[in-house]
Structure 1
Amino acid sequence: MKDVYSVLKRPLFTEKCDRLKAKYNKYAFEVAINVNKIEIRQAVEQIFGVTVLKVNTMRVHGKVKRRGRSEGRRPDWKKAIVTLKEGDTIPIWS
């Protein structure tokens, strides 16, 4: 298994993620692009000491950006939405 701190890159703080947390007890993270759901589950459980019920992942394509005539692209990244057991919370969002 990979180092748990290299699996999770950062938590995502958006309005949609805030609604998911309040209504369904789901938390969103940006994760390393080459990890799978099992590694994400183990990393969240080890780092935060919570019980993970479900992990959903998605690949997010980087946006095309322009600066004058030159055109570039932001890198692709991976998002994970983690569902926790009822009553568990992650203290980052508290």
Structure 2
Amino acid sequence: MADITDIKAILYTEKSLSLQESGTVVIQTSVRMTKNGLKEVLKQYFGFTPLKVNSLRVMGKVKKFKGIEGKRNDFKKFYVQLPEGAKLENVEA
């Protein structure tokens, strides 16, 4: 079962800020989070049910650092359309 600790961050990029003007927030979570799990977390901790949730799985890149090959972590991004007047507050990365 998903909980609030699976939410890693709210993304603030140029694209996500333009989406926020239309009421859509971009949330980065762990890979095990599902759409229904995210809806439950938002309802339980923030008191609203999102109108629409779209998900995107991002695979970590393979990078080299000082000649040693490593891999960045995989994560999921959720595009959450908030109902009128709802806000996400007190979420820290």
State the TM bucket, normalised to the shorter chain: 0.7 to 0.9
Q: Which runs of 5+ in 2 are unaligned?
A: none
The one of 35, 38, 41 equivalent to 1:37 is: 35
Name the counterpart of 1:17.
16
**C-alpha displacement at 1:53, in angstroms?**
0.6
Instruction: Please identify which structure carries the higher helix content.
Output: 1
Residue 62 (1) aligns with residue 77 (2): no
TM-score, length of structure 2 as denominator length:
0.81
| Secondary structure of 1:40's aligned partner | helix
Cα 1:7/1:67, change in 2 over 3 Å = closer
The one-character-per-residue Cα deviations of 1:5-36 (angstroms, maximum 9, x if unpaired) are 133222222221111101x2011111121121
| Secondary structure of 2:85's aligned partner | coil
Superposed CA RMSD in Å reads 2.0
TM-score, length of structure 1 as denominator length:
0.80
- Number of residue pairs matched by the alignment: 91
Aligned residues with identical type, % of pairs:
34
Q: Which runs of 5+ in 1 are unaligned?
A: none
